[in-house]
């Protein structure tokens, strides 16, 4: 069969192409988008990038809540007269053509005044007139062209966070002052005796003093604050000797120009602060387009359909989810999420709890059964009665655990801070001993020696080693699609001795191509009608099975009926098929004794009967990620491996064959159980990494020393975590561990190199021979060489990762 790709989205036309205007499309949605763009003279969209679009799929009534004035008011950033402004997160933005079409929305509708894309954050800001285009119509317009916004409870509640640019301003001030002070200090280095320089050297020195004031009291103030807080808490962090060095540099330099005994060390002072801030800026550089702090609000709907009585009649209204109270009746449609704990009142519920418990298979519930928040209905409309408000549901109460409010990074003792205590004691000891020595032999030198030791031993190079090494590594990891929250995660990763994996969605893939048929062999006629029937269905299992069977000849059904959540009933000529769930197919079959055994019915299967005779079923098995076995074998050498799954233990035997001996496995674990399991490991002094994928892993991810989320699409929902790993790079986890350990070695070698500079400088300082020119050379040279060494070393490590 010839492979034909869709002109709009690039996907293979598995159902057979829809031809229009000499082009092929995989579905009517893609064809409609092309028609919209072409009729509005926007076909240049396709010249910017080959197959840039996404096939739009919009559920009827999905955005009815955007007719609620209260919700509209919350979503709008500006609302006055006929001018409204709104911002949306649009995960589908991925290329230049996406930017182009979204910034030309005014050509699609005259009510759109302007639109601007923030590509790194995948955000779209639109100015429009609500008199001619409602918010709901605007969202539907975006959805129709394949750029459906992500609107969740987080949008309704979230407070706008400002961007903190204070570090950039401080770095800019320090850099400006450093350059000017170095320029003004240049004649002093060489003691040039020239009339005009001698005449104005006092002005130059006071200018240097003036430039140093914002450096010390603005750019460097955070080091004094951190040192004070550390001392108040009884901790000698790395900022204590840095703050001491800055203070001594400034005081001694000021004293020298006041007494006219020298030019001071203002150049070294400004250079020190500039390089330190540069390292801090590099360390804080992270991925602003990713969210590492998401919770249930990013996943829950912004509104639901509530039933109320008016003049004796039942009516429906769209209300914000936080207005739902105990006893309210709520309608949940196919593929909608249940946002609160509830009792099923009407309808057949088939609930997918995979995002809450990790259990892969949907569960059936009957009238009177309790439904938990976070489940997604699969099938027809159901009516439920709220047992609790959203804030008090089982799932939302998980976020009340203290683990979600603690700051991991503050509790972690970095390598730099580990050595700072000894370093500070060492520097102060040398300074006092040297001062006492010179008090006896040459008192005039004692003050100069004391201050010189504190100046030259200021741990600038030591403080730069970790930020530049880990900052480079953060960028290298990002290049290989591991996006970490900050650099401390790399240090924590190097200490991990236990790795806990979730099963469903983490070590298993979302693909459903591992399908086996069990039962009576199908005739060619049955295979042809089966393929044609599956081709006409949009159900995920139908699509997956059709991809396997599409090599068959296809017979188009004459009669086709699809029953949501149950299956298909189809016929052609004298052949009729029923395809779907066990309960649906089992009705009216003559050979019920041949029907699948009860344990088989628990598996994800598509059952088939032909002319009221049961034939068999296609069973979908978990498809495990590539390199799973080799990854576990690599990690098993020095780490304990554990599988912690909310799913049942049906795959235990298969996993025991794939994974190395000694891998512990625990099944049927609820979110709270997972969190407690991680706590228990940590109470045994284990350093734990949790690797998961869903909301059910959120507690364990937050509790673990390092929480990594595996994601098929890094831009869609992922729970609070320390890092997001593209699922395609799952097999490289062992390499990331190795690189983290080597990065710590690079930092330690940097400390040794820095120590050598300090010893040389201390030699000058203790002997009383530290001149400004020596300090001006040694301090920047040590910083630059450390930055160069760490950059080169991490680049070499990055190349090894590539190989």
Between 468 and 57, where is the model more confident?
A: 468
Indicate whether 191 and 240 sit together in one domain: yes
* Burial label, 193 (beta-carbon count in 10 A; 0-12, 13-18, 19+): exposed
Indicate whether 630 and 729 sit together in one domain: yes
Residue 682: inside a domain, yes or no? yes
Domain-ending residue, one of 370, 389, 408? 389
pLDDT at 187 exceeding the cut of 50: yes
- Residue 499 has what pLDDT? 92
Indicate whether 183 and 263 sit together in one domain: yes
- Average pLDDT value over all residues in the chain: 77
Indicate whether 651 and 781 sit together in one domain: no
Average pLDDT over residues 430-447: 79
Could you tell me which of 700, 633, 107 has the C-alpha nearest to residue 403? 700
pLDDT at 601 exceeding the cut of 50: no
- Residue 511 has what pLDDT? 63
Q: Can you tell me the distance from the alpha carbon of 719 to that of 55, in angstroms, rounded to the nearest whole number?
A: 26
| Tokens 């399991």 found at | 677
Residue 20: inside a domain, yes or no? no
Q: Can you tell me the distance from the alpha carbon of 801 to that of 374, in angstroms, rounded to the nearest whole number?
A: 39
Cβ-based neighbours of 301, under 8 Å, separated by 6 or more: 65, 152, 153, 321, 336, 337, 339
Pick the most confident of 91-105, 436-450, 566-580: 566-580
Average pLDDT over residues 171-178: 90
| Tokens 């029953």 found at | 563
Indicate whether 639 and 710 sit together in one domain: yes
Indicate whether 192 and 252 sit together in one domain: yes
Indicate whether 701 and 596 sit together in one domain: no
Percent of the chain whose predicted confidence (pLDDT) is above 70: 76
- 389 within 8 A of 373, measured Cβ to Cβ: no
- Residue 467 has what pLDDT? 79
What count of other Cβ atoms lies within 10 Å of the Cβ of residue 126? 24
The pLDDT tens digits for 458-467 are 666 677 777 7
Indicate whether 451 and 599 sit together in one domain: no
- 664 DSSP β-pair partners: 642
3-state helix, strand, coil in the chain (%, to 5): 50, 20, 35
pLDDT at 134 exceeding the cut of 60: yes
The number of C-alpha atoms within 13 Å of 201 and in the hemisphere containing its C-beta is: 19
Print the domain residue range for 707. 481-509+624-734
Identify the CATH number of the domain in which residue 381 sits: 2.70.150.10
Identify the CATH number of the domain in which residue 686 sits: 3.40.50.1000
- 381 within 8 A of 349, measured Cβ to Cβ: no
- Per DSSP bridges, beta strands 18-20 and 382-386 are unpaired
Name the domain count of the chain. Answer: 4
* Helix locations, 85-237, DSSP H: 96-102, 135-144, 153-157, 166-190, 195-214, 221-232
Find the helix or strand (DSSP H, E) in which 309 lies: strand 303-310
The pLDDT tens digits for 722-768 are 888 888 888 888 888 888 888 888 888 888 887 777 777 777 777 76
- 128 DSSP β-pair partners: 84, 112
Residue 350: inside a domain, yes or no? yes
Residue 528: inside a domain, yes or no? yes
Average pLDDT over residues 381-403: 69
Residue 550: inside a domain, yes or no? yes
Indicate whether 338 and 378 sit together in one domain: yes
- 84 DSSP β-pair partners: 79, 128
| Lowest mean pLDDT, pick from 2-11, 395-404, 459-468, 571-580 | 395-404
Indicate whether 500 and 353 sit together in one domain: no
| Cα 318 to Cα 116, 330, 391, 494, distances in angstroms | 30, 10, 19, 50
Residue 47: inside a domain, yes or no? no
Residue 500: band (very low, low, confident or very high) from pLDDT cuts 50, 70, 90: very high
Return the SS3 of 319. Answer: strand
Residue 784: inside a domain, yes or no? yes
Domain-ending residue, one of 620, 651, 680? 620
Could you tell me which of 148, 16, 26, 158 has the C-alpha nearest to residue 93? 148
Instruction: Return the HEC string of 52-73.
Output: CCCCCCCCCCCCHHHHCHHHHH
Indicate whether 270 and 355 sit together in one domain: no
Residue 34: inside a domain, yes or no? no
- 506 within 8 A of 750, measured Cβ to Cβ: no
Could you tell me which of 91, 104, 200 has the C-alpha nearest to residue 149? 91
Q: Can you tell me the distance from the alpha carbon of 282 to that of 722, in angstroms, rounded to the nearest whole number?
A: 18
- Per DSSP bridges, beta strands 498-501 and 723-726 are unpaired
Identify the CATH number of the domain in which residue 565 sits: 3.40.1110.10
What's the CA dihedral at 423, 425, 426, 427 to 10 degrees? 90
The number of C-alpha atoms within 13 Å of 662 and in the hemisphere containing its C-beta is: 12
Give 109-146 as a DSSP string.
-TTEEEEEEETTTTEEEEEE-TTTS-HHHHHHHHHHTT
Return the SS3 of 186. Answer: helix
* Helix locations, 398-459, DSSP H: 408-411, 415-441, 443-456
Residue 589: band (very low, low, confident or very high) from pLDDT cuts 50, 70, 90: confident
Q: What are the φ/ψ torsions at residue 186 (nearest 5 degrees)?
A: -55, -45
Indicate whether 639 and 727 sit together in one domain: yes
Q: Can you tell me the distance from the alpha carbon of 514 to that of 426, in angstroms, rounded to the nearest whole number?
A: 64
- 99 DSSP β-pair partners: none
DSSP 722: S
């Amino acid at each position: 069969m010839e492979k034909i790709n869709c002109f709009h989205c690039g996907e293979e036309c598995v159902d057979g192409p829809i031809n229009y205007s000499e082009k092929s499309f995989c579905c009517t949605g893609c064809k409609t988008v092309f028609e919209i763009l072409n009729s509005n003279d926007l076909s240049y969209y396709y010249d910017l990038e080959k197959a840039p679009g996404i096939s739009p799929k919009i559920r009827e009534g999905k955005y009815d809540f955007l007719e609620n004035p209260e919700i509209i008011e919350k979503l709008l950033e500006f609302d006055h007269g006929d001018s409204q402004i709104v911002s949306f997160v649009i995960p589908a933005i991925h290329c230049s053509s996406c930017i182009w079409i979204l910034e030309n929305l005014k050509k699609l509708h005259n009510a759109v005044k302007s639109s601007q894309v923030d590509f790194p954050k995948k955000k779209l800001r639109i100015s429009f007139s609500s008199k001619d285009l409602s918010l709901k119509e605007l969202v539907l317009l975006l959805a129709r062209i394949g750029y459906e916004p992500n609107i969740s409870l987080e949008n309704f509640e979230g407070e706008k966070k400002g961007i903190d640019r204070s570090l950039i301003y401080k770095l800019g001030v320090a850099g400006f002052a450093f350059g000017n002070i170095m320029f003004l200090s240049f004649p002093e280095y060489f003691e040039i005796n020239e009339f005009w320089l001698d005449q104005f050297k006092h002005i130059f020195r006071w200018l240097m003093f003036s430039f140093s004031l914002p450096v010390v009291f603005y750019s460097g103030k955070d080091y004094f604050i951190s040192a004070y807080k550390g001392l108040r808490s009884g901790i000698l962090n790395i900022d204590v000797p840095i703050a001491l060095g800055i203070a001594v540099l400034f005081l001694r330099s000021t004293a020298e120009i006041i007494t006219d005994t020298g030019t001071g060390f203002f150049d070294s002072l400004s250079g020190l602060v500039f390089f330190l801030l540069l390292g801090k800026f590099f360390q804080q550089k992270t991925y602003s387009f990713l969210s590492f702090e998401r919770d249930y609000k990013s996943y829950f709907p912004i509104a639901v359909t509530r039933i109320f009585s008016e003049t004796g009649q039942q009516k429906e209204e769209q209300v914000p989810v936080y207005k739902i109270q105990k006893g309210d009746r709520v309608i949940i449609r196919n593929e909608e999420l249940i946002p609160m704990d509830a009792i099923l009142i009407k309808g057949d519920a088939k609930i997918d709890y995979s995002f809450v418990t990790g259990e892969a298979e949907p569960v059936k519930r009957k009238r009177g059964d309790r439904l938990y928040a976070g489940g997604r209905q699969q099938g027809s409309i159901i009516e439920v009665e709220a047992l609790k408000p959203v804030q008090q549901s089982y799932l939302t109460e998980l976020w009340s655990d203290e683990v979600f409010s603690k700051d991991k990074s503050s509790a972690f003792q970095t390598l730099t801070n580990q050595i700072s205590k000894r370093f500070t004691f060492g520097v102060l000891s040398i300074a006092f001993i040297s001062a006492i020595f010179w008090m006896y032999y040459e008192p005039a030198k004692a003050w100069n020696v004391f201050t010189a030791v504190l100046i030259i031993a200021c741990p600038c190079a030591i403080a730069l080693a970790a930020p530049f090494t880990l900052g480079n590594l953060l960028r290298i990891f990002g290049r290989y699609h591991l996006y970490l929250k900050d650099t401390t995660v790399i240090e924590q990763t190097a200490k991990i001795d236990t790795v806990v994996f979730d099963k469903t969605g983490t070590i298993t893939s979302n693909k459903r191509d591992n399908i086996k048929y069990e039962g009576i062999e199908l005739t060619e006629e049955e295979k042809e009608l089966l393929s044609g029937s599956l081709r006409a269905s949009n159900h995920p299992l139908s699509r997956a099975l059709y991809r396997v069977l599409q090599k068959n000849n296809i017979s188009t059904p004459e009669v086709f009926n699809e029953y949501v959540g149950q299956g298909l009933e189809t016929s052609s000529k004298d052949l009729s098929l029923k395809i779907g769930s066990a309960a649906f197919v089992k009705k009216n079959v003559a050979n019920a004794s041949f029907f699948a055994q009860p344990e088989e019915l628990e598996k994800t299967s598509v059952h088939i009967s032909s002319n009221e005779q049961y034939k068999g079923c296609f069973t979908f098995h978990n498809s495990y990620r590539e390199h799973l076995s080799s990854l576990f074998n690599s990690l098993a050498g020095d780490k304990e491996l554990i599988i912690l799954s909310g799913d049942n233990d049906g795959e235990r035997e298969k996993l025991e064959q794939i994974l190395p001996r000694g891998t512990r496995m625990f099944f049927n674990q609820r979110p709270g159980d997972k969190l407690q399991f991680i706590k228990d490991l940590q109470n045994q002094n284990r350093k734990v990494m949790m690797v998961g994928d869903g909301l059910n892993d959120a507690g364990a991810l937050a509790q673990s020393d390092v929480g990594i989320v595996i994601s098929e699409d890094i831009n869609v929902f992922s729970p609070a975590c320390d890092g997001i790993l593209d699922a395609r790079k799952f097999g490289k986890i062992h390499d990331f561990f190795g690189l983290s350990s080597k990065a710590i070695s690079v930092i330690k070698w940097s400390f040794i190199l820095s120590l050598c500079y300090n010893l040389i400088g201390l030699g000058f300082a203790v002997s009383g021979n530290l001149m400004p020119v020596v300090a001006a050379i040694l301090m920047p040279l040590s910083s630059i060489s450390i930055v160069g060494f760490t950059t080169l070393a991490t680049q070499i490590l990055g190349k090894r990762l590539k190989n």
